[in-house]
Amino acid sequence: MRYGRGFGRFWFDFVVGEDWRIAAGVVVVLGLGALALRAEVVSDQLLAVLIAAAIVALVMLSIVSAGYRRPTRAEEHR
């Protein structure tokens, strides 16, 4: 059981990492992309570009917001 818990913690830390908002945003973007692909709203190539641009925008937004975010109490005492 110990190995299973360690395996799960590794993957959670690998996927979520330091900012859970990026992981959640990527899941939302990929879900919306899958819905758009299924509904054939745009071409496959355009959809790939839009998904990539949305993920890059998510990461940039996260980086910018991290610079303006007030540190938590735990971060202040480091």
pLDDT score of 65 more than 70? yes
Structural domains counted in the chain: 1
Q: What percent of the chain has pLDDT over 70?
A: 87
Could you tell me if 15 and 23 are in contact, meaning their C-beta atoms sit under 8 angstroms apart? yes
**Residue 11 in domain:** no
**Residue 9 in domain:** no
Mean pLDDT of 26-38: 94
- Which amino acid, one-letter code, is at 38? R
**Residue 8 in domain:** no
Which structural domain range is residue 70 located in? 18-76
pLDDT score of 69 more than 70? no
pLDDT score of 43 more than 80? yes
Instruction: Give dist(CA 72, CA 67) in Å, integer.
Output: 13
**Residue 2 in domain:** no
Cα dist from 47 to 29, 39, 44, 63, whole Å:
11, 12, 5, 24
